[in-house]
Structure 1
Amino acid sequence: MKNVVILGVLAVLVVVVGYFMLFGTSEQAVTGETPDEQAQQVAPIPTEETTSPRLGSGTLEDLRLLGENMECTISYTDEAQGSIVEGTYFVSEGSMRGDFLIDAPDYSGKVVSSMIVDDQMMYVWSDINGQLFAVKMDLSLIEDSTVETNEPVKLDEEVNYNCTPWVAVDRTVFMPPNDVVFQDMSALMRTGMEYGTMYEGGGVPEGFDMSQF
């Protein structure tokens, strides 16, 4: 009788051990992964910030070619004109926009001038004594030292900048305003006039069509 009981207990143990061997396999054994590997799959991967604040000096073109999304304040002293230029500057994916306030004693003290570079084109427009002057030009013209393009801040001029990450990028700022008609710089050059002549005498130069504004 005692032997029967012992055999019964052994049979139960065999069944229990067999059950756990078949159905009690750990998740680690099923997946073939260690606990550390499983934790890495569950834990979110931290994203690194692609842009950090920048404070220093350099050119607008240097900032544009960084390929980062930034919004900046810019200050620049035009030694040739003796004027101080201050403004804002946005750059994203190779496009840029600057809006500047320029000291201009000959033109009621201040001139508001803006520029956009996008798709190999530059757009420049300025409010001078209540009149709007606007031109567009291929970037290749800027590389031609014989052409006076008169953008408010030249792309290769050294400026002081204070830039922060532009988190909520709005690419509409790189679209030229719809209510401004831009004269084509190449067409102006064919008439023998350069954009710089617009500032001489404060008047509208011959060949520049103001009727569209």
Structure 2
Amino acid sequence: MQKIILPTLIVILSGLAFSACNKTDNQAATTKEESPVVAKQEEKNGGSFTGNVKDLMGFNKNQKCTWTALDQGEGVVYVAGDKSRSEFEMAAMEDQLAQQMFSISDEEWVYSWNPVTKQGMKAKIDEMDQGEPGEMEGYNPEDINESDNDYQEMSNQDYEFKCENWRVDQKMFVPPTDVEFTDMNAMVEQMKQGTQNLKQVCNMLTGEDKDECLAGFEE
């Protein structure tokens, strides 16, 4: 399962990262202090630069940037104000074929989908931010933890971006109508409800048996 959900989680969480960066940038816009990210951009004259996706969002410019990473794939990111669109070509991994994953995000929603299977996921960012860390871990901790570690490594890793200005096309930030999107917020809620239902079994026990049963959900 982990090999199947990893590419999807990477793209979804990348969209969340872009949105989070946008919120941070908007809050920081009131200060006049020059950030290291802006300085880095000026040194590169807005062209190629080495950095991560968070650096890219810190530029606050309408840009189209491409990148290639050995053994991970290649992608293109379109940035326009508080909106972003990512198109990733995932490299083949072991018995998993190469595949494409697209993602768009703004300050409210993030959509990610596979253009071939026409299946995707959507998430309301504020509701995801309000979730407690590890909410989904009780459902399948090994898959989620390992996938999250891969995402963190990918989002913090430096890449060689090649950027240029682009004429913004708002249609690029509209979710496709021929894709079936699963609501990730509802899915998390269902997982939480499922865990609560399982805990009811513990309440049928007494003494140490009950304590051990409840402790199993906290591990």
The TM-score with structure 2 as length reference comes to 0.51
Distance 1:107 1:142 in 2: 34
Q: From the two aligned structures, give the one with the greater strand fraction.
A: 1
CA distance in structure 2 between the aligned counterparts of 1:142 and 1:86, rounded to whole angstroms: 28
Flag the 1:116–1:93 CA change in 2: closer, same or farther, 3 A. Answer: same
Change (3 A) 1:61 1:116: farther
Measure the CA separation in 2 of the matches of 1:181 and 1:190: 19
TM-score under structure 1 normalisation? 0.53
The answer on whether the counterparts of 1:52 and 1:164 sit within 8 Å (CA) in structure 2 is no
Q: Deviations over 1:10-55 (max 9, x none)?
A: xxxxxxxxxxxxxxxxxxxxxxxxxxxxxxxxxxxxxxxx995331
**Higher RCO (Cα < 8 Å, 6 or more apart):** 2
Cα distance in 1 for partners of 2:124, 2:95 equals: 28
The answer to whether the aligner puts 1:136 opposite 2:122 as a matched pair is yes
Q: Deviations over 1:119-153 (max 9, x none)?
A: 321111125xx533311112343696535597997
Verify: 1:100 aligned to 2:88, yes or no. Answer: yes
Contact 2:66–2:74 (Cα < 8 Å) also in 1: yes
Alignment partner for residue 57 of structure 2, among 31, 39, 64?
Answer: 64
Structure with the largest fraction of helix: 2
Matches within 5 A, 1:171-186: 171-186=170-185
| Structure 2: gaps (5+ residues) | 1-41, 137-143, 193-219
**How far did residue 156 of structure 1 move?**
3.5
Aligned residues: 136
Q: Is the aligned partner of 1:84 residue 2:83?
A: no
Whether contact under 8 Å (2:104, 2:173) holds in the other structure is: yes
Kindly report the root-mean-square deviation, in angstroms, between the aligned alpha carbons of the 2 structures: 3.4
CA apart distance, 1:108: 5.3
SS at 1:54 equivalent: coil
1:191 aligns with 2:190: yes
User: One-letter code of the match for 2:52?
Assistant: T
**Identity across the alignment (%):** 22
Alignment deviations for residues 170-205 of structure 1 (CA, whole Å, 9 cap, x no partner): 121011112112111011112329xxxxxxxxxxxx
The verdict on how the C-alpha distance between 1:111 and 1:169 changes in structure 2, with shifts beyond 3 A counting, is same
Distance in 1 (CA, whole Å) between partners of 2:79 and 2:95 is 29
User: Relative to 1, partners in 2 of residues 1:169 and 1:107: Cα closer, same or farther, differing over 3 Å?
Assistant: farther
Secondary structure in structure 1 of the residue aligned to 2:191: coil
Partners of 1:96 and 1:184 lie apart in 2 by 20
In structure 2, the residue corresponding to 1:87 is in which secondary structure? strand
Larger radius of gyration: 1
Structure 1 residue runs of 4 or more that deviate by more than 6 Å after TM superposition: 149-155
